[in-house]
Amino acid sequence: MRSFEVPEFYRSPIIARVKQNRKARDPRKRDFTPSVLDFGSVRFVMARHFGFCFGVENAIEIAYRAIEENPGKRIFLLSQMIHNPEVNADLTDQGIRFLQDTEGNTLTPLSELVAEDVVLIPAFGTTLELEAQLKEIGADVATYNTTCPFVEKVWKRSAKLATSDYTIVIHGKPQHEETRATFSHARGSGHALVIKNMAEAEILCAFIEGERPLETFWDHFAGRASEGFDPAVHLSRVGVVNQTTMLASDTQAISDRIKQSIEAKSSDSEAFANTRDTLCYATNDNQQATMSALEWGGLDTAIVVGGYNSSNTSHLVELCEEKVPTFFVRNEKEFQEDGTVKHFDWRAGVHQETSDPWPVAAEGEVPTLLLTSGASCPDATVDRVMHAILDRYPGSKDVEDVLIAFEQELDAQPQS
- Where in the sequence numbering do the catalytic residues fall? 178
Return d(Cα 135, Cα 54) in angstroms, integer. Answer: 27
Return d(Cα 382, Cα 402) in angstroms, integer. Answer: 17
Buried b (16+ CB within 10 A) or exposed e, 263-287: eeeeeeeeebbebeebbbbbbbbbb
Q: Give the chain's radius of gyration (CA, Å).
A: 23
| Upper half-sphere CA count for residue 399 (Cβ side, 13 Å) | 12
* Rounded (10°) CA dihedral 330, 331, 333, 338: 90
Q: What are phi and psi of 235, to 5 degrees?
A: -115, 20
| Upper half-sphere CA count for residue 164 (Cβ side, 13 Å) | 14
Buried b (16+ CB within 10 A) or exposed e, 32-52: bbbbbbbbeebbbbbbbbbbb
* Contacts made by residues 88-92, CB under 8 angstroms, sequence distance 24+: 90/7, 91/63, 91/67
**Which helix (H) or strand (E) covers residue 350, if one does?**
strand 350-354
Contact (CB, 8 A) for 118 and 413 = no
**SS3 assignment, position 318:** helix
